[in-house]
Chains A and B, each alone.
Chain A
Amino acid sequence: MSDWKQDLHKTRYVMDVLLLISFMLVSAPQATGLTGHEWLSVLFIVPFAVHLLLHWDWIKQSAKRFIQHISAKERFSLVWNYLLYVMMLLATVSGFLVSVALLPTLNIELHIQDFWSKIHHDSATLIMPIIGVHLALHWRWIVNLTKRMRMKGAKV
């Protein structure tokens, strides 16, 4: 179990599992309570940023690849990733703009607009199917890595 840090794919796997778990916690404010939801959401920025850092090369090449000849699936995945990114930002930003616990605690006055409540609800709900498709597009990788992670003591 100690060797995952030495392998890029295994590192990604561990971080992706954490990302998914933390996403699911963040998306359940009824279960965590609103205060918990807001603090968890701020913490969630960490696994989110880590996910992007671990795909730095992909991001750097993505603009160039868009104009190159790639398969329809890859092109779709590329656009989808950017859609997911913007939705995630939208949910986070609108979350801050409807904050009832975190910003008031920090003494930041806020007039909550219905617009942002609706955007927060809608974007947060939309992200779930978007992530479902995102995961399906990487299904083979997920299956392969799950097998590799379960081979105890196997050399990386």
Chain B
Amino acid sequence: MKYLQYHWKSRTCAVLLISVVISVLLISLELTDWAAQINQQGYSHGGEGGEGNKVPSFLRYILPFVKELVLIGVPMLLTLLFLKISRMLKRSPNR
């Protein structure tokens, strides 16, 4: 814990303060035309009510995590592959 406790009060304040300032800037996105356009179009996605879908209920506790593992894991593996290939290319002599 000693690393966490080092100057933690001032640093936490700094991190939170900066984050709040940026967050307020982000909230001002709602004043843009872009936001107005999306509000006008309306937005809805699946799930509301949920009566219609016939997935067994235990899947509700599994599928979200499967989705996360795929959405995190696939880009991670692709990046690792890319890094590996670029390292191999750098090492190969005739280039």
Contact = CB atoms under 8 A, between A and B. Distances in A.
Interface of A: 5-6, 8, 11, 15, 24, 27-31, 49-50, 52-54, 56, 73, 86, 89-90, 92-93, 97, 113-119, 121, 125, 128-133, 135-137, 139
B63 interface: yes
A30 B60 contact: yes
Interface of B: 1-4, 7-8, 11-12, 15-16, 19, 22-23, 26-27, 29-30, 35-36, 38-39, 41-45, 47, 60-61, 63-65, 68, 71-77, 79-80, 83
Contacts of B4: 11, 15, 50, 53-54
Contacts of A121: 45
Contact of B83 (A86, A114, A136): A136
A135 B80 CA distance: 9
Nearest to A12: B3
Contacts of B16: 49
A6 B80 contact: no
Given A53-B8, A132-B76, A136-B79, 10 more contacts: A11-B1, A31-B64, A31-B65, A86-B26, A89-B22, A93-B27, A129-B71, A129-B72, A137-B79, A139-B83
Looking at chain A's contact residues, the main secondary structure is: helix
A129 B75 contact: yes
Given A54-B4, A121-B45, A136-B80, A128 B15 contact: no
Contacts of A125: 71
B3 A54 contact: yes
B38 A132 contact: no
Contacts of A117: 43
Given A89-B26, A115-B38, A117-B43, A24 B1 contact: no
Contact of A128 (B38, B72, B80): B72
B35 A113 contact: yes
Given A53-B4, A115-B35, A115-B43, A31 B26 contact: no
